[in-house]
Amino acid sequence: MPRTIGAARQLPSQGKRSVGIPLLQRLVVLPPLVTLGVPKISRGNYIFLSWVGDHSPRHVHVYRDGKLTVKWDLEHKCAMEGNAGKRIQRLINELEEEGRL
């Protein structure tokens, strides 16, 4: 049976009851090799992962629905992998201003 590691979240029910649907079918799980022991910040349907000791440049991994959306370079303010729309950039800026990234 698959395990979930702290980053699992329930999918929106879209007005339907989830009675009778097994819990594991209602969860989105981030890859355990990436997320094991890493602090996770949930904001605006995204999960942000950044940790001290990761390789340079300082960056954040942004996931949505269990898939990497963007790997964002915090030093140079640009995408290292994937695409970051204005909403993601705004959320990253907010988290930096709050001292969370």
How far is 22 from 60, CA to CA, in rounded Å? 32
* Residue 87 within a domain: yes
* Residue 42 within a domain: yes
What digits encode the pLDDT tens for the residues 42-85? Answer: 998 999 998 877 788 999 999 999 899 999 999 999 999 999 99
> Residue 22 pLDDT more than 90?
no
* Residue 44 within a domain: yes
DSSP state at residue 33 = H
Query: What pTM was estimated for this model as a whole?
Result: 0.63
* Residue 17 within a domain: no
23-27, 34-38, 52-56, 76-80 — which one is most confidently predicted on average? 76-80
How far is 85 from 62, CA to CA, in rounded Å? 12
Q: What is the pLDDT of residue 14?
A: 46
Domain span at 64:
30-97
Domain count, the chain: 1
In the chain, the N- to C-terminal Cα span, in Å, equals 33
